[in-house]
């Protein structure tokens, strides 16, 4: 496979991130011309999961399912899934608790404190959506790039 395989997962991850406002109906509350706005964490689909599954799919197709590189890609995918489904949910709970404490401070002291994210992780369905999107988009891109031009 003579494709720039490292680019495919990046493109898939960006597409997944770009779909979030449409799927999560955030377009009702945010303007698309606001360049600074992009959903940060959470939501459907998981862009991290789409990236990881795209990477594993590319490596499997390029090097085979029994290669060391595929084993490393699967390990990275498991690590990313654990982070998305468990670790960031844990950190989000800390954000909620800290925000409650910050809200008890006088307004003068709160002014200089940053907003603390509370929705950092993904629900299992959001991760599954990212995984499916990552695999399907990767296969579509590879089929499109390798199709003969008649």
DSSP per-residue string spanning 71-135:
HHHHHHHHHHHHIIIIIHHHHHHHHHHHHHHHHTS-HHHHTTSPPPP---S--HHHHHHHHHHHH
- Is residue 146 over pLDDT 50? yes
Q: What is the pLDDT of residue 54?
A: 95
Q: What value does the mean pLDDT take over residues 51-75? A: 94
Asked if 103 and 60 count as a contact pair (C-beta separation under 8 A), the reply is no
Retrieve residue 76's tokens.
């990275």
Q: Which range (48-57, 71-80, 105-114) has the least confidence?
A: 105-114
Which of 13-27, 48-62, 77-91, 98-112 tops mean pLDDT? 48-62
Nearest CA-CA partner of 25 in 40, 44, 41, 12 = 44
Retrieve residue 74's tokens.
């699967």
Angle at 87 between CA 84 and CA 92, to 5 degrees: 95
Q: What value does the mean pLDDT take over residues 123-136? A: 89
Q: Which residue has the higher pLDDT, 83 or 31?
A: 83
pTM, rounded to two decimals:
0.74
């Amino acid at each position: 496979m003579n494709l720039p395989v490292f680019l495919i997962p990046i493109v898939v991850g960006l597409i997944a991130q770009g779909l979030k406002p449409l799927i999560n109906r955030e377009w009702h509350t945010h303007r698309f011309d606001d360049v600074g706005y992009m959903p940060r964490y959470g939501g459907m689909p998981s862009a991290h999961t789409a990236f990881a599954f795209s990477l594993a799919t590319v490596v499997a197709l390029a090097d085979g399912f029994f290669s060391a590189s595929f084993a490393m890609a699967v390990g990275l995918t498991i690590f990313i899934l654990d982070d998305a489904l468990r670790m960031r949910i844990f950190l989000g709970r800390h954000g909620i608790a800290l925000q409650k404490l910050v809200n008890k401070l006088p307004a003068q002291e709160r002014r200089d404190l940053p907003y603390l994210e509370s929705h950092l992780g993904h629900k299992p369905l959001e991760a599954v959506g990212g995984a499916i999107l990552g695999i399907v988009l990767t296969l579509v891109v590879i089929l499109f790039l390798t199709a003969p031009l008649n």
